[in-house]
Amino acid sequence: MFLVPTRLFACLLAVFAALAVPVARAADGLSLSAALARALRDSPELRIYPYQRRAAEADRLQAGLRPNPELGAVLENFAGTGAVRGAKSLETTLTLSQLIELGGKRGRRVEAAEAALGSVAADYDVARLDVLSETTRRYVDVAEAQAGLEAARRAVDLAKQTGEAVERRIHAGAASTAERNRANIALLRAGLDVQRAEGELDAHRVALGAMWGQGAPDFSSVSGDLYAIPPLADFATFADRLQTSPDLARFASERRLREAEVRLAQAEAVPDLTLGAGVRRLNSGAEVGGTGADYGLVASLNLPLPLFNRNQGKIAAAQERAGQSDAERDAALLRTRAVLYGLYQAAAQARRQSEALRGEAMTQAEQALTLTQRGFVNGRFSFLELADAQRQVLELRSQAISASADAQRIDAEIERLTAQPIVAAAASAGAAP
C-alpha cells in the first residue's frame, strides 16, 4: 500500500514500518515509512517545540515559587531642627516582612502553568501531524513525477518507432519526406518533455528532502506504488474520528487553560496578608539616661480591604474567554466537517477516475494503437492517424497518473484532519500471519 497511516501519537517509529509492510519491503528507493521517520526526527519545523516546552516547564517552576521575604530599614527623626537636629534623636528600624498568599494563589498559578504546558504539547501534536501530512504529499509528488517521467520516455520510444516506420515507408516509396519531418518534430517534442519531466522530478525530490532539512537529497527515487489506492470507508467513520483529532484536542487544552485562568483570577480576589517584625534603635535614650541607646521590637500586619477592587473585571474576562474557546471549538468542528465532506467526495471521484482510466479505456487505447501501428506500416493508416492514436494513449496515461496521485494526496489530507489511518484495517489484515 502506498500511504502509510499517519499515526500522530505513535512515539516509536516502528509503528510506521508495521503499518506499511508493502512499502518498506521495496528493494530500492525511499519508502514512505522511512521518509516519515526522517521528517519526524529532523524536521526544521519541529525543532522549535523542545524550546517551547522547556520554556513552559520553566514557567511552571516559576509559578510554584513562594514570594521572597523583604528586608527593610527606616530612619526617623534626623536632620531636622531643634531637638531633632543632626542625628541626636535618630531612630533606626530594621524590619523583615513576608507576604502570605491566601486563597490558594500559588496552587492556581501552578495549575494555569500546567495547562499552558498542555497547550504546548497539543500544538506540538498538531505540528507533527502537519509535518507527516506534508511529507506524504511531497512523497506523492515525487512518485507522480517518476510516473510522469516514465510516460515521457514511453512517448520518446513511440516517437522513435514511428520514425523508423516512416523511414521504411519512405524507402518503399509509400511516404514523402514531409512525414519524416513530422516524425522528427514529434521526437524532438518528446525529448523536450523528458527534460521537463526530469526537472520536475528533481524539484520534487529537493522539496521532499527539505522536510528533514536536507538541501541536496540523498535518494534518487521513491518506492511507493502510485496505483495501490485503498478503498474508502464510509463518511460517517471519518466524521466520528474528528472528535478525537489533534486539531479539536487542542481546543480541549485551550479550555483547560482558560478554566485555570478563571480559578486563578478568583484566587487573586482574596487579599494577601503581609507580616513583618523588626528591631528599633532609639538614640534619644542615650541623652536622657546617659547609658546608651535603647532598643525595642516592632511588628506589623497589613491586610488590604477588598472594598472596591475584588478582581471582578479579570474574573469576568477570564470567564468570557473560557466560553469563547467552546464557541471556537464548535465552529471549528462544523468547518472541519464540511471540509472533510468535500475531501471525501473528491477522494471518491479520484478513485473512480483512476480506475476508469487504467481499466477498459486504457486497454482499448493500447489495442487501438497497436492496430494503428500495424496499419501504418502496411499503408492503411496515415501518419496523422498514428499520431492521434499515440496521443490518446499518452493522454490517458497522464490522466491516470494525475487521478491516482490526487487520490493519494486527498487521502493524506483526510488523515491529517482525522489523525486516523485510512487503510488501518487493510494494513492490519496484510500484516496478519
Q: What is the pLDDT of residues 388-431, one digit of tens each?
A: 999 999 999 999 999 999 999 999 999 888 887 764 333 333 33
DSSP state of 304: -
Q: Is the dihedral of CA 345, 347, 349, 351 positive or negative?
A: negative
Are the CB atoms for 315 and 251 separated by under 8 Å? no
C-alpha cell at 260: 485555570
- pLDDT tens profile 112-131: 999 999 889 888 988 999 99
pLDDT, residue 424, reads 36
- The per-residue pLDDT for 224 is 82
Determine the pLDDT at residue 151: 93
Pairing of strands 294-302, 91-100: unpaired
Strands of 70-76's sheet, edge to edge?
Answer: 70-76, 91-100, 273-282, 294-302
pTM for the model stands at 0.79
- What is the spatial distance between Cα 331 and Cα 244, in angstroms, rounded to a whole number? 16
Any idea which architecture 14-66+109-263+306-431 has in CATH? Up-down Bundle (1.20)
> Could you say which residues of the chain have pLDDT below 70?
1-28, 284-292, 422-433
Q: Is the sign of the CA dihedral 260, 263, 268, 271 positive or negative?
A: negative
The helix or strand, by DSSP H or E, that contains position 334, with its residue range, turns out to be helix 312-356
**Backbone phi and psi for residue 213, each to the nearest 5 degrees, phi listed first:** 75, 25
CA atoms in the 13 A half-sphere facing the CB of 251: 17
In angstroms, rounded to a whole number, what is the distance separating the alpha carbons of residues 379 and 279?
121
Q: Where are the domains of the chain?
A: 14-66+109-263+306-431, 68-100+272-304
pLDDT at 284: 61
DSSP assignment string, 74-137 = EEES-S-SGGGSTTTT-EEEEEEEEEE--SSHHHHHHHHHHHHHHHHHHHHHHHHHHHHHHHHH
Residue 272 burial (C-beta neighbours within 10 Å; 0-12, 13-18, 19+):
middle
How far apart are alpha carbons 98 and 67 in whole angstroms? Answer: 8
Amino acid at 121: A
User: What is the sign of the dihedral through the CA atoms of 127, 221, 160 and 395?
Assistant: negative
The helices-and-strands tally (H runs, E runs) of the chain is 13, 4
